[in-house]
Amino acid sequence: CALGEATFGAGYYQYSIVTDDSGFSLYVLARDVEGFFANYDNEVTALLEDFGYTGFLWGVSQNTQTDCPSDIYSPTWDPSKI
């Protein structure tokens, strides 16, 4: 439902906000997590509030993505190819 700037690598979007047609599921996908929080977190937070994702029931929460095994990505991610 929203895309960040197309300035990551070879014109890829910095982030995307994804939901289903009912608005029940919500994902914010970022190509560079540290860069996202440094540069886009406030912008995305404002967008999510505008979309109605606020409060206890509909508010957003961050999940932890540390220590993810690298072998879950297929094909293997190679940032030099962007």
The pLDDT of residue 59: 83
pLDDT at 19: 92
Q: To 5 degrees, how large is the angle CA 60–CA 64–CA 66?
A: 155
pLDDT score of 55: 84
Verify cis geometry, omega within 30 degrees of 0, for the bond prior to 75.
Answer: yes
Would you call the peptide bond into 79 cis, given omega within 30 degrees of 0 as the criterion? no
The pLDDT tens digits along the chain (82 residues) read 999 999 887 888 999 999 999 888 899 998 888 889 999 999 999 999 999 998 877 888 887 777 766 666 555 666 676 5
Q: What is the pLDDT at residue 47?
A: 95
What are residue 57's phi and psi, to 5 degrees? -75, -45
Model pTM score: 0.74
